Amino acid sequence: MKENNGTRMNADERGFKIRKAGKRDLKDAAKIFREESAKTPYSTRFSPASALKDISELFKNDFYVVIDKDKMIGFVASHIILSDNKKAYVDELWIKPKWQGKGAGKMLMNFIEDMYNKKGISSIGLVTRRKASAVGFYKKLKYKESRESVSMYKKL
């Protein structure tokens, strides 16, 4: 861990740094969220205001950013499930395309896994689109498809 202006940072050999997000990070995180979630296979469109609103809600829980050369390149938002204090959930994980496949996402996931493990959490859940490249990423990190739940929806 390194100290940077009073903020604890976790750094790796590539120069990526992880730190707890501050309010100053919300606009950049909302922009990454809005731009990346609009791409296939997610194809979810957010206005700048609605993306900022969603990110601001996630900011109330565990929210960390990954930095490369003083620039935010991604973030993870997660929380402990209150009904079962032994489980956590990854709400969002987004990395800018230029940095995908370079270890930033893995570093963020390892960071939150270690953080939750130290808090006595025994499992972490998440949801992603079946056709997303993120499925392969999570499988490499030893995440398995759940037999307990099925994502369902109804179009009205």
Q: What does the alpha-carbon distance between residue 110 and residue 152 come to, in Å, rounded to a whole number?
A: 29
Closest CA to 125 of 101, 102, 109, 103: 109
First-to-last C-alpha distance (Å) of the chain? 50
Quick one: average pLDDT of 3-23? 70
Amino acid residing at 66: V
Q: Is residue 41 in some structural domain?
A: yes
**Structural domain harbouring 52:** 2-140
Which pLDDT belongs to residue 79? 96
Question: Taking 80 as the threshold, does the pLDDT of residue 153 lie above it?
Answer: no
- Number of domain units in the chain: 1
The answer to the question of residue 155 being in a domain is: no
**What is the reported pLDDT for 142?**
92
Mean pLDDT of 67-89: 92
Which token pair is 149?
Answer: 């739940």
The pTM score is 0.84
User: What is the reported pLDDT for 146?
Assistant: 79
Average pLDDT, the chain: 88
**Amino acid symbol at 27:** K
Provide the CATH number for the domain around residue 21: 3.40.630.30
- What are the tens digits of pLDDT across the range 85-124? 789 999 999 999 999 999 999 999 999 999 999 999 999 9
In this structure, what DSSP letter does residue 46 have? -
Domain assignment of residue 148, yes or no: no
Q: Is residue 122 part of a domain?
A: yes
Strand partners, 9: 2, 19
Q: Is residue 145 part of a domain?
A: no
Confidence check: pLDDT of 5 > 70: no
Tell me what the mean pLDDT of segment 7-19 comes to: 70
Return the percentage of the chain with pLDDT > 90, whole number: 71
